[in-house]
């Protein structure tokens, strides 16, 4: 049985470089900062907040800038990784703490990793869900790499997201339907079968949603859950969320001084065996002895897709709280 997701949740906003950041907190004890991914919300941690609180932690889930009740800067370049990292630092300081454990999922995993890399004095440990840590690298610009992935017949979704307004024109007329399809496309129980068109790609002159499952919700997503997510993006629009993808080349330049740098703090990785984010980046997981030298454990959950803390909340909660307990010694 899951912990009650709404009991004793506290909402507030704090000042940050973004302007303001909305956060939801539960519990008392050592601070654990939870950072969501695309296209999500603090609500993606609704099953972790009570579990972490019950285990003796101060669990704080933020709305990343551009999402939910947090500020939405208008400039595309305001969503570069360095700015998101400084938002995380500002949250810890605004809460009156010297340091925190940071845990992220999807883009939040990357934000958490770079936060730990750039500010080891603030982030004493880092938990990564779904997206493995890959150190900043040289080589081609990210957009050049993604442009080559698709080939002549189709386009990789990251490339599709690059042009301002293009993906918005697909998503915003039917936010709820688009989100339902996107969540289903990457969930273990509803993702397309092997051999069917890959929903991470867009047919030339097509739409991303053309390859999404229709008429079915994954088991972890109730109609009420979908209503919450849809309501957030219907109010805010999707541009702030998409602008994260539109800064990958800027991040490549900004983080060049940290090329190949390991994260030396204690770390944890949890991935889904059926998640493309994990399988495509298997080389990054293999490199953990070098890139995460203080890794406590790396877990791959069988029959699990991308939305790992929502698909498998009890297992993720057990792994997170067990790992956090080892940090208190």
β pairing state of 19-26 and 58-62: antiparallel
pTM: 0.96
Asked whether 128 and 60 are in contact (CB, 8 A), the reply is no
Exposure class string for 128-151: b at 16+ Cβ within 10 A, else e: bbbbbbebbeeeeebbeebbeebe
pLDDT at residue 7, as a whole number: 52
Active-site residue set: 106, 306
Going along the chain from its start, the domains and CATH numbers come out as 10-138+259-326 (3.40.50.1820), 142-242 (no CATH)
For the record, the structure tokens of 328 come out as 């208190």
Mean pLDDT in residue range 126-147? 93
- Sequence-distant (≥ 6) Cβ neighbours of residue 90 within 8 angstroms: 14, 15, 16, 17, 21
**Residue 242 phi, psi (nearest 5):** -70, -25
pLDDT at 4 over 80: no
Give CA separation, 248 vs 4, 97, 190, 200, 281, in Å.
37, 30, 29, 17, 17
Mean pLDDT in residue range 118-143? 95
Asked whether 203 and 154 are in contact (CB, 8 A), the reply is yes
pLDDT at 329 over 70: no
pLDDT at 145 over 80: yes
Q: What digits encode the pLDDT tens for the residues 255-284?
A: 999 999 999 999 999 999 999 999 999 999
Mean pLDDT in residue range 226-245? 98
Q: What digits encode the pLDDT tens for the residues 45-86?
A: 999 999 999 999 999 999 999 999 999 999 999 999 999 999
- Sequence-distant (≥ 6) Cβ neighbours of residue 7 within 8 angstroms: 50
| 3-state secondary structure at position 125 | strand
């Amino acid at each position: 049985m899951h912990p009650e997701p709404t009991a004793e949740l506290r909402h507030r906003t704090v000042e940050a470089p973004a302007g303001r950041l909305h956060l939801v907190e539960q519990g008392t004890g050592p601070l654990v900062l939870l950072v969501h991914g695309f296209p999500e919300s603090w609500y993606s941690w609704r099953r972790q907040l009570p579990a972490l609180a019950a285990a003796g932690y101060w669990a704080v889930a933020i709305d990343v800038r551009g999402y939910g009740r947090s500020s939405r800067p208008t400039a595309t370049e305001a969503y570069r990784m360095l700015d998101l990292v400084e938002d995380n630092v500002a949250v810890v300081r605004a809460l009156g703490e010297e340091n925190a454990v940071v845990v992220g999922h999807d883009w939040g995993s990357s934000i958490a990793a770079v936060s730990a890399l750039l500010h080891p004095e603030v982030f004493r440990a880092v938990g990564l869900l779904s997206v493995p840590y890959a150190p900043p690298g040289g080589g081609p610009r990210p957009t050049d790499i993604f442009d080559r992935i698709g080939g002549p017949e189709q386009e990789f979704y990251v490339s599709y997201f690059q042009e301002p307004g293009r993906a918005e024109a697909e998503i915003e007329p039917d936010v709820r339907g688009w989100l339902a399809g996107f969540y289903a496309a990457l969930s273990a129980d509803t993702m397309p079968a092997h051999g069917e068109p890959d929903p991470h790609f867009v047919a030339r002159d097509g739409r991303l949603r053309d390859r999404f499952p229709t008429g079915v919700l994954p088991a972890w997503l109730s109609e009420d859950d979908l209503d919450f997510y849809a309501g957030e993006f219907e109010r805010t629009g999707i541009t702030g969320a998409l602008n994260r993808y539109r800064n990958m080349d800027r991040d490549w330049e900004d983080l060049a001084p940290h090329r190949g740098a390991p994260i030396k703090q204690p770390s944890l990785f949890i991935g889904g065996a059926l998640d493309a984010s994990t399988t495509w980046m298997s080389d990054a997981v293999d490199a953990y002895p070098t890139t995460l030298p203080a890794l406590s454990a790396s877990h791959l959950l069988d029959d699990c897709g991308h939305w790992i803390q929502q698909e498998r909340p009890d297992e993720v909660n057990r792994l997170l709280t067990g790992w956090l307990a080892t940090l208190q010694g």
